[in-house]
Structure 1
Amino acid sequence: MSPEPTPFTLAISQAELEDLRDRLARTRFPDRTPGDAWAYGTDPDYLRELVTYWRDGFDWRREEAALNAFPQFRVELDGIPLHYLHVPGKGPEPIPLLLLHGWPGSVLEFLDILPLLTDPAAHGAPDAPSFTVIAPSLPGFTLSFAPDQKRFSCEEMAATLARLMADVLGLDRYMVQGGDWGAFVGSCIAYSHPDRVRALHLNFLPLRRDAAVADAPSPEEEIYLAELAEFLKEETGYQVIQGTRPQTLASALVDSPAGLAAWIAEKFHVWTDNDGRIEDAVDRDRMLADISLYWFTGAIGSSFWPYYARSHGPWPIPLGEKITVPMGYLQSPREILRPPRSAAARVYTDIRRWETLEKGGHFAALENPDTLAAELRVLASSL
């Protein structure tokens, strides 16, 4: 018998909100290292400002209501309470779309793009296909977490979400879109179930160097390798600690909301296309809603596990294997890494769309929801 989903409404208690405010009021801030702001991590001056606003100005109830405006469900699947949004598309024959977030993200990233995908006619695209969107909280992340539950690698998340689509929702054919870990998970689903995935769309390319770059790299691949070397040198400290000692870091962040905010906000600063302030690219309330969701669920430690599994196991797509389903890609100028098409084509053999933006970063659904929705419509129409 297939697992039976139950409707879900997020409702954080007033006592939890008051506890958060009390903890924020007692924050001990670090001193400021001499030098440029953000040069050594989260700027203490910005953190003080953010914590003050989180305590005194941020309206969690408004963000909670925005999420609850969409149909949500939970289902016991593979030993966890899997949470997902299931938003029906309007118009004839909407296309099922599995929409996947990454770290340090959540389904809150999708609140602006959901209406664009499910009701394009109401948003200036009357002839575009619509989508019925299934947007899960990744296993082990925020609302798909319970204390002491098992941890999930990318491959295990892919298997669970494939079961959600087929066994729980009865969907034999669907599209998949993902960024960050969602791109890894979506690629795993497309690799393992090419008969089910109508098309795969990514805004991040999960490529291993020895599979994607030729022995004699092209000029574009040389640029990519240089960017990769700089990233590995300067920007992977979080990966190392999350991939080797996740429990130790979780002990700090699950107890300190200011520490959690510093850890996550630094990624929003580095990974978005901003002009010095995160808010140039992403709404502050939406970022704090994401941070708050990690705080209230206590899921930050579990969300680290894909890094540990990746560091201690094989690459999710076996070396030499190909992903053959139709694929589209949206590249942002401030994405973490920007492999050239030649590199991607060595793994993804049926690239239908390859678009490059002039502005944007890692969080495409937050920074460029209109463009991401339009690209999904074009890819769907091309099928």
Structure 2
Amino acid sequence: MTAITPFRIDIPQSQLDDLHDRLDRTRWPDELPGVGWEYGIPLNYIKELADYWRHSYDWRVHEKRLNSFPQFTTEIHGQNVHFMHVRSANPHALPLIATHGWPGSLVELLNIIEPLSEDFQVVVPSIPGYGFSGPTREKGWNVERVARTWAELMSRLGYTRYGAHGSDWGSAITRELGRIDAEHAAAVHVTMIGMPPQPGLEPYTEEEQRRLQHGQRYQRELFGYAAIQSTRPQTLAYALHDSPVGQLAWIVEKFRDWTDSADIPEDAVDRDHMLTNVMVYWLTGTAGSAARLYYESLAARVRPVEPSPTPTGVAVFPKDLSLSVRRFAEAANTITHWSEFDRGGHFHAMEQPDLLVADIRGFFQSLPEISRSSFRSRP
């Protein structure tokens, strides 16, 4: 069996000095007057944020927080896999693997790890190609391959029965994990389950039509990043790998477009938390390899969706980039739990961690096949 090795984040000061030097030498573009966010991130906003990043943000504070969680690496299918593994005080707690998405990282899940560990043995990996898992080294790292890697990881940790949660790409990976490893995956919980409407479901309800229109707006106005990453991730990598402000803008724009924010991303998420997520991409040099997941998964998307027999819970947040429709999802999934919330956007664990934790806990606690001893008693 391949070894599981303890891991600790220790970024050399030279990397931080290089970042500061690059920020000091940023070559700023012009912008049209009075367009706000219509053409992308406004110049005055990104300048102020970059100045804060350069002079006020303290990586060492957040590095220390990251290192407060036990971390490990192991090699699976020839790829380094980095993960956090936080054991519950409850020896009967159900193992739970939680997966981030793009432009997130395991940083986006930090606020839910401790509360989940009251009832779960929590495993939070970095997707191959992301963060401290490092760049992928060969073609073929798509959603299915990541899911098979997670199945092997949970087996390697000695977990023969487990649950899974995911958002964004993590939702797709988690659904696939439940499908391919149904023998061991007791149930899965996701925040997006994008299934197109199947023939024969017409007429659509007013709410279903609204959600379809929401998806059409995403395809029309907000899909540009995905089109580039699905077709030319290497070309994009040169800009993001070389320019910290380029990396900052590419990610932070999504925290404005996809969150339940009134004007700027910080209306919905903590500024330092968001910058720590950006730092993980910058310090590990994984902007390009993270984008490759889009290319690889698009290439594999020609196959029809295969049904999943695994009990599936879905949490829908109103300002997410995609709003799932239960009738569509039920066509190929075993939906046993469906929650609709009145607030929150795409970065659920950062925006509404309490709502998300309660929904994950409630879903698994409701399943008859999950032992009641897995959950601590509450008044």
Same fold (TM over 0.5): yes
Q: Is the aligned partner of 1:88 residue 2:72?
A: no
Q: 1:321 to 1:70 in 2, by over 3 A?
A: same
Among 332, 336, 343, the alignment partner of 1:359 is 343
- Is residue 98 of structure 2 the alignment partner of residue 99 of structure 1? yes
2:150 corresponding residue in structure 1 = 161
Partner Cα separation in structure 1 for residue 98 and residue 136 of structure 2: 25
Paired with 1:157 and 1:147, the residues of 2 have a C-alpha distance of: 11
Cα distance in 1 between the residues matched to 2:58 and 2:138: 30
Aligned sequence identity (%):
40
Structure 1 counterpart SS, 2:85: strand
Q: Does 1:26 align with 2:25?
A: yes
Name the residue aligned to 1:224.
211
Conserved in 2, the CA contact under 8 Å of 1:183 and 1:206?
no
- 1:338 is the counterpart of 2:327: no
Deviations 1:162-203 (A, max 9, x none): 11111x212111100000000010011111111111111011
Helix, strand or coil at the partner of 1:287: helix
Instruction: Give the stretch that moved more between structures: 321-330 or 81-90.
Output: 321-330
Deviation of residue 327 (structure 1)?
1.4
Once the two structures are TM-superposed, the CA of residue 101 in structure 1 deviates from its matched residue by 0.1
| Structure 2 counterpart of 1:137, one-letter code | S
Name the structure 2 match of 1:262: 249
**Ranges in structure 1 where 5+ consecutive residues have no aligned partner:** 120-129
- Corresponding residue of 2:307: 322
Question: Contact 2:87 / 2:120 at 8 angstroms: preserved in 1?
Answer: yes
Provide the residue aligned with 2:126 in structure 1. 137
Say if 1:304 and 1:100 are closer, same or farther in 2 by CA, change over 3 A.
same
Alignment of 1:53-64 (within 5 A): 53-64=52-63
1:195 aligns with 2:198: no
Q: Please tell me the residue identity of whatever aligns with 2:106.
A: V
Partner of 1:238: 225
**What is the aligned partner in structure 2 of residue 111 from structure 1?**
110
Length-normalised TM-score, structure 2: 0.93
- Other-structure match for 2:35: 36
Structure 2 contact 229–295 (Cα < 8 Å) conserved: yes
Counterpart of 2:281 in 1: which secondary structure?
helix
> How many angstroms apart in 1 are the aligned matches of 2:188 and 2:181?
11
Q: Which residue of 2 aligns with 1:176?
A: 164
Rounded to whole Å, the distance in 2 between the matches of 1:212 and 1:49 is 50
Q: Tell me, yes or no, if the aligned pair for 2:135 and 2:289 is still in contact at 8 Å.
A: no
Indicate the residue corresponding to 2:11 in structure 1.
12
Q: Is this contact kept in 2: 1:271–1:362, CA < 8 A?
A: yes
8 Å contact kept, 1:211–1:319: no
3-state SS, counterpart of residue 53 of structure 1: helix
The answer to whether residue 82 in structure 2 is matched with residue 73 in structure 1 is no
- Per-residue Cα deviation, 1:323-351 (whole angstroms, up to 9, x for no partner): 221111111110011122111111222x2
Please name the residue that 2:47 is paired with: 48
Partner of residue 382, structure 1 = 366
Name the CA distance, whole Å, in 2 between partners of 1:211 and 1:173.
Answer: 33
Query: What is the letter of the counterpart of residue 341 of structure 1?
Result: R
